[in-house]
Amino acid sequence: MDHAGTIHIVASSSRERATLARHAYDLGRHAELYESSDELAVRAPGEGLVLVSESEDGGRSERLIEALASKGCWLPVVAVSETPSLEHAVAAVKAGALDYIALPFSTKALASKLATIEAEAAAIAASRRRAIAARRRIEELSRREREVLDLLASGQSNKLIARELGISPRTVEIHRHNMMQKLDCDHSAAAVRMSVEAGLEPSDAGEQTSPSILGLPSDREGKRKADGLTAS
């Protein structure tokens, strides 16, 4: 059974899995081992922390976060790499990884990192789970309902939304009513707050948006965190 102390280790190399598991055991943690991101995503554990060994060409941590999020699951993810690069570090952090650590590292260094990460993880997890839930609901909206939500979130009135979309104010009211029912919001402020929590880009007027379900930090946040990355 999973518990908060579990470290989920994803690495294609049995040597790397064994090395990372040894660090986990030295910290008194239970370790669950996976050969691939897909193997972990199928299980989608509800608790714990993930150490994912980044592939040489990068992207493994991003794919893992996306796969977990598509199942409504968010876990704190730490990318580790024997061939660290700033480019891969920035990409991992932007995708939602909480840190990017160069291998090899000592158990003491890992313990220090995990203490910092886990102190932040609860608040971040709550925020990202709200974002995932909001995005799932927003994905159920029709194209027109999504456009009405976007314009409502930008502060426009029904009359201005009607002018922008080339429809009547009465039609806007109908789309707005349907949109709020689907989002289970009883007033406009709640719908706008859900849109903000989801952190989605405005939909294109010409086609239905298929927003990523990832809990992505902003570019500014990603760059700020990536600038502070250091090898352990």
Phi, psi dihedral angles at 123 (to 5 degrees): -65, -40
C-alpha closest to that of 93 among 117, 67, 119, 123: 117
- Give the homologous superfamily in CATH for domain 7-129+218-227: Response regulator (3.40.50.2300)
Distance (Å, rounded) from C-alpha 231 to C-alpha 105? 9
Confidence of residue 227 (pLDDT cuts 50, 70, 90): very low
Domain boundary assignment for the chain:
7-129+218-227, 143-198
Confidence of residue 210 (pLDDT cuts 50, 70, 90): very low
Q: Is the model's pLDDT at 73 over the cut of 70? A: yes
**Sole residue written with tokens 């995503």:** 41
Edge-to-edge strands, sheet with 49-53: 31-34, 7-10, 49-53, 77-81, 99-102
Q: What pLDDT digit, counting tens, does each position of 19-56 carry?
A: 999 999 999 999 999 999 889 988 888 788 999 998 77
7-129+218-227 shares its CATH topology with 143-198: no
**pLDDT in the model for residue 203:** 59
Confidence of residue 209 (pLDDT cuts 50, 70, 90): very low
Out of 1.10.3470.10, 1.10.10.10, 3.90.580.10, 1.10.3720.10, select the CATH number for domain 143-198. 1.10.10.10
Q: Is the model's pLDDT at 153 over the cut of 60? A: yes
**How many other C-beta atoms can be found within 10 angstroms of the C-beta atom of residue 195?**
22
* DSSP state for residue 94 in the 8-state scheme: H
C-alpha closest to that of 217 among 43, 70, 91: 91
